[in-house]
Amino acid sequence: MIDAHFLSLCTLLGTKERKHSFAAAIDTLISTQSQSASFSLSEEIFTRDEFRIIRELVKSYSDLKQLRKQLFEVPIFSAQISFIPTKQFSTKLISLLQTNISDPFFLEIIVNPGIMGGCVIEFKGMYNDRSLKRDITKWMKARPKQHGR
């Protein structure tokens, strides 16, 4: 059973990258064996408000090792796209997915120019290729062979 604090934490973290940054901070707390030790997160990845909220959520956990273990049990929603996403794009994608997926997950965006457009997604053992490369390949195989070309 997933508690509300954990769901809030997963929603706030959002991405696999942010999960790993958070896990590194948890590792520091575990190694010092104190939740009151200095808890730091990258200012490049987290805003001050997010940091404050995360710090409060961490205080609600008595077993940080269990929290860390639970984080790595959350599935990854992997999305391959053909371009480098802006922060705004990533934020909108996470929001859209969180609206439509009730279970916690972490988003991993993989830039793969080889798919040419569209996306390829993987989540909980499901794979869906909606790439332009797939469509072109399918079209090329389906068209009749032309002599002399």
The pLDDT > 70 percentage for the chain reads 92
Strands of the 118-123 sheet, one edge to the other: 106-111, 76-81, 118-123, 126-131
Taken in order 56, 62, 63, 66, is the CA torsion positive or negative? negative
At 10, the pLDDT band (50, 70, 90 cuts) reads very high
pLDDT per residue over 130-145, tens digit each? Answer: 999 999 999 999 988 7
* pLDDT at residue 39 greater than cutoff 90: no
pLDDT per residue over 81-109, tens digit each? Answer: 999 999 999 999 999 999 999 999 999 99
Position 46 scores a pLDDT of 85
Nearest Cα to Cα of residue 15 among 49, 47, 45, 60: 45
